[in-house]
Amino acid sequence: MATLFISDLHLEDSRPQMTEVLLRLLAGEARDAEALYILGDLFEYWIGDDAVTPTAQAVADSLRELSDSGVPCYFQHGNRDFLLGEQYASQAGMKLLPETLVVDLYGTPTLLLHGDTLCTDDVEYQAFRAQVRNPQWQAGFLALSIEERIAVAKQARDASKQHTSSASMDIMDVNPQAVQQAFADQQVRHMIHGHTHRPAVHEHILENGDSASRIVLTDWYKRGGVLRVTAEGATAVDLPVAV
């Protein structure tokens, strides 16, 4: 049996083919998994648990079926769906996780996180992140009408696309010192995260001379992908879109 990890699906109503990839995973391989971890950005944006889209409803129903079958489902917030709350999580049978969490994967302590906090060179994004994670800002946003929230979310998404297109790719990747600090703070030598859309396995030498590994999960813009972790190791597997 394997523990499964996914992130950066960015699901929305306009991309039903990617939702179908997830639903097949949840109804298929995931039923035999020990657990499923979603490390953020399950959805392209999230404006509140009172504004569930048809896509989000279908995902919740499928996740609930998986959870009811005995497979625990865990969710960490991403930079797009940080407002996903207890109401939707309960509906989907998911347990909300803190921003950083160390889990024991077959005897290996492993740090899980979305990954955006590691991109400290992107000062503009980090300032935006601090703003929208402020409880007062969130309360004010959620007090708006659904139509107003949709408009704000679209503006933020457009601004993000413009920033992404103009900023250096290196700035939007992880900062090496931030990675070293995360390993040191959590006292681990293994890490799994998403966010950067640069799937790979990175090897690091820590300040004390120990070796460490960092696995970056794939995004779901062109095809799906899941990381399977067993006692024997980790394997990244593509999940193609059905023709």
Q: Nearest 5 degrees, angle CA 93-CA 98-CA 100?
A: 130
The answer to whether residue 89 scores a pLDDT higher than 70 is: yes
Beta-sheet pairing, 211-216 with 200-205: antiparallel
Q: Confirm if 109 and 166 have CB atoms less than 8 A apart.
A: no
Token pair recorded at residue 103: 């889990």
DSSP-assigned letter for residue 218 = P
Backbone φ/ψ region at 198: left (φ over 0), alpha (ψ -120 to 50), beta: beta
Query: What is the amino acid identity at position 39?
Result: L
CA 54/CA 214 separation, integer angstroms: 35
Nearest partner of 193 among 103, 116, 102, judged by Cα:
116
Helix (H, G, I), strand (E, B) or coil at 125: helix
Predicted pLDDT at 21: 97
pLDDT digits (tens, 9 = 90+) for 116-171: 999 999 999 999 999 999 999 999 999 999 999 999 998 888 888 887 766 666 67
pLDDT digits (tens, 9 = 90+) for 162-182: 877 666 666 779 999 999 999
Pick the CATH number of 3-239 from 1.10.357.10, 3.30.300.30, 3.20.10.10, 3.60.21.10: 3.60.21.10
Across 67-76, 90-99, 143-152, 159-168, least confident range: 159-168
Total number of residues shown for the chain: 243
Predicted pLDDT at 169: 67
Nearest partner of 184 among 102, 99, 116, 105, judged by Cα:
102
The answer to whether residue 216 scores a pLDDT higher than 70 is: yes
